[in-house]
A = this chain, B = another copy of it.
Amino acid sequence: MTGYGPDNLPYGVFSLADGVRRIGVRLDDTVVDLSDVDDIFRQPSLNALMAQGSPQWTYWRSVVHRHLDRRIPLADVDLHLPFEVADYTDFYSSEHHATRVGRILRPGQPALPPNWRHLPIGYHGRSATVVVSGTPIVRPRGQLGEGVFGPTRRLDIEAEVGFVVGVPGARIGTADFDRHVFGVVLVNDWSARDIQAWEYRPLGPFLAKSFATSISPWVVPLAALATRPAPVQDPVPHDYLRPAGHGYDLRLSVEWNDTVVSRPPFREMYWTAAQQLAHLTVNGASVRTGDLYASGTVSGPERDQAGCFLELTVNGTEPVKLADGSTRGYLADGDTVTIRGSAPGARGGTVALGEVRGTVVG
């Protein structure tokens, strides 16, 4: 019902009044305190657990199932960043998003860059500013164009899915995806569109993204999620991107204050998470425990499936109406955005992906 039944059991890091961080799983509206079960759960982050690898992940899941009695109401705990972020990488793998953004920002040019269908485009982000859901988002200042400095006027979100690496490696083939990736989180890659437009040529987004990236507090193990066939890709990708691996039918929703404004469907993503990891490491680059790589903005073909407000409001020119009657092109101070997700579970039913939330502070 809640999506947090015994088939989900996502891992998180919490503390009680003593402030000591420890590991638990979420079960309905409670946290199961695992800190007495084993040393591996008496840690301030999931990194040591994630580094153990997939046979051990399976083992711990079976152990956890036998310890579901030590439950603390969710309301009584503080949730923290669940893992130490090593490198943070962000992709750009929704064709609907890339196409719509290309049309809006580079009119008169081909919507998709020529490389888009040949490789999963990505770039590195700032790991220092990956924060847990609920952390206030301070409106960034910066150069908004030539000669203009101040708080961004085009503060946006990007609704994404993040994949968390457990086992280090390099040159990771698509078939080895499940051996390296521990689980998924929801990601809001906050973006300042005016800063971005002015700074991004030729080396890509920098300060437009680096002020904050929010993630959900519960890492849902891959083992909890049903898979689905990967999307059809044309042209056929290079060998190192084959087989494509599987897709996931993750269903997101974006709530702007009290109004659901969009329902981005992850099943529409063009490149799979396995392909993204294979691409990231094909040049010999290594990934470490705690690496976070995000899917890129999840957008579907319809406007109300857009994963960012740049698309939803056509760069602010077609504002959306919220439940209280107000309208928005981009985020106002005091606005709260909540991205929620759920997915078919590996054993049937529905698994909740939790939520990632942030309120804009002026």
Contact = CB atoms under 8 A, between A and B. Distances in A.
B204 A238 contact: no
A83 to B, nearest CB: 15
Interface residues of A, number: 54
A282 B115 CA distance: 33
A297 to B, nearest CB: 12
Given A206-B124, A210-B124, A119 B283 contact: no
Contact of A284 (B149, B211, B282): B211
Contacts of A143: 115, 118-119, 238
A113 interface: yes
A199 B149 contact: no
Interface string A134-176: 0000101111001101000000000000000000000000000
B239 A149 contact: yes
A206 B126 contact: no
A124 to B, nearest CB: 4
B283 A149 contact: no
A170 to B, nearest CB: 9
Closest 6 interchain pairs by CB? Answer: A204-B204, A140-B283, A124-B124, A123-B203, A210-B285, A203-B204
15 contacts: A115-B199, A115-B201, A118-B143, A121-B202, A123-B204, A124-B210, A127-B127, A140-B283, A141-B283, A149-B239, A203-B204, A203-B205, A207-B285, A210-B283, A211-B285
Given A92-B203, A127-B127, A149-B239, 6 more contacts: A118-B147, A121-B202, A141-B283, A142-B282, A204-B205, A211-B283
